[in-house]
A = this chain, B = another copy of it.
Amino acid sequence: MTVQEIKGKKLVKGIAPNVEPEALLNDKRKVFLFGSPSYTNIGDQAIAYAEEKFIKNHFPYYEYIEIMDYATDEGIELVKEIIREDDIVCFTGGGNLGNLYLDIEEDRRKVFSAFKDYKSISLPQSVYFEDTEEGQKEKKKTQDAYHQNTNLTIAARETQTLDVVKETFNSNVIFTPDMVLSLDIVPRELERDGVLFILRADKEKVTDEDFISQMKQWAEKTTYTERTDTVLDTVDTIDYADREKHFMEMLDRIGSSKLVITDRLHAMIFSIITKTPCLVFGNSYGKAKHSYRDWLESLNFIEYTDKNDVEELERMIDRLLQAEPNDVDLSKDFQPLIDFFAS
C-alpha cells in the first residue's frame, strides 16, 4: 500500500487523526489505539489523553496511531492492511468493559478478535457484567471474542476488577491505576469558591436525590453550590483535536472550587490533580470506591464514603478542607504497563 492509496480512499475521518498519513507506513513499531472516545465523557477523554502521553513519553521511538470510536470498522480494515508482526493493538481504558455499554463492548470484541495474532491489550479498565441473564449472555460473547486472541493482556485498574478478570478470562492480566493517574500536571493556581456537585445522571447512579438535596442545603448555608457532570451536554462530540481543551476546562472548573462532592471516579481524579478537597460516593458497582481503596487512601484531602448521615459528612468535609493537600506517587505502579509495551 502507498501513501497515495491511503490518502485516496482508505483514510476516512477518525482514522489516525493524530498523525500525518505518511506515519502509517513508516518503519517504526506501531501502537494502534482503538476506541479513542468521541463522546463527551471527560473522564474517558482524559484517559485517552493520558494514554497518548504515556506512550509518547516512554516510547518516543514508536508510532502511536489513534482510531476514533466511530471509525472502528473502517479502522480495522485499514490497520489489517498495514499492521506488521511486531505492532501492538490497544483498546482504550475506562469503566466500560462489560454489559453496561454494549456499543463499546462490541467494538472491543471486534478489535481483539480481528487482531487475534497480534500483541493486544485492553488498557486499564473496570470490568462489570451484571448478574442477570442478559449480563451473563454478554459475558459469554465477550469471552468468546477475547479468547480467540491468545496474545491478549487485560489491565485491571482495581483489585475488584483484577479478581473478575482472573475468574472470567484466560488472558494475561496486569494491575495498574487508572491511566489519568499517570499524568504529571502541575495544578494551576486559581481563585477558589463554592461547592461543586459532580453527579452521574446515568445507569450507574445510586446516590439518592433526597440525600443530595440535604447536602446542597447544608452547603448553601455558607457558600453557593453548582451541579454538573463530567459528561458534557454542551457539545455533541469531542474529536481528537479538541480533547485537551475540554479536559483543561474541566480541570479549571474543579480547580476553582473549594470542595467537590461527587460519585464520579474521574471527578475524584481531577480533584487530586488540582488539589481540590473532594468527598466521593459510590456508583452501582464500586469503581470509585475500589480505586480509592487500592491506590488513593493516603490522600488527606480526598475521602470516600458510603455514609449518608449529613452531620457526619460535615465533620468529614471539615477535615478535608483543613488538610494541606499531600501527594501520592503512583509512577512505579505503572511499571507492568511499561514492561508490556517494552517487550
Contact = CB atoms under 8 A, between A and B. Distances in A.
Interface of A: 53, 57-61, 183-186, 188-189, 244, 248, 251-252, 331, 338, 341-343
Chain copies in the assembled complex: 2
A21 to B, nearest CB: 16
Contacts of A338: 186
Contact of A57 (B61, B184, B248, B331): B184
The 5 tightest CB contacts between A and B, nearest first, are A58-B186, A61-B248, A186-B342, A57-B184, A186-B338
Contacts of A57: 53, 57, 183-185
B186 A59 contact: yes
Contacts of A186: 58-59, 338, 341-342
A342 B244 CA distance: 19
17 contacts: A57-B57, A57-B183, A57-B184, A57-B185, A58-B185, A58-B186, A59-B185, A59-B186, A60-B244, A61-B188, A61-B248, A61-B251, A186-B338, A186-B341, A186-B342, A189-B342, A189-B343
B184 A58 contact: yes
A60 B342 contact: no
A4 to B, nearest CB: 21
Nearest to A338: B186
A260 to B, nearest CB: 19
Contacts of A58: 184-186
Most chain B CB inside 10 Å of its own CB: which residue of A58, A60, A185, A188: A60
A54 B188 CA distance: 15
A333 to B, nearest CB: 14
A66 to B, nearest CB: 17
Nearest to A49: B60
A240 to B, nearest CB: 15
Nearest to A339: B186
Contacts of A184: 57-58
Contacts of A251: 61
Most chain B CB inside 10 Å of its own CB: which residue of A184, A186, A248, A342: A186
A166 B336 CA distance: 44
A218 to B, nearest CB: 33
Contacts of A341: 186
Contacts of A60: 185, 244, 248
A29 to B, nearest CB: 9
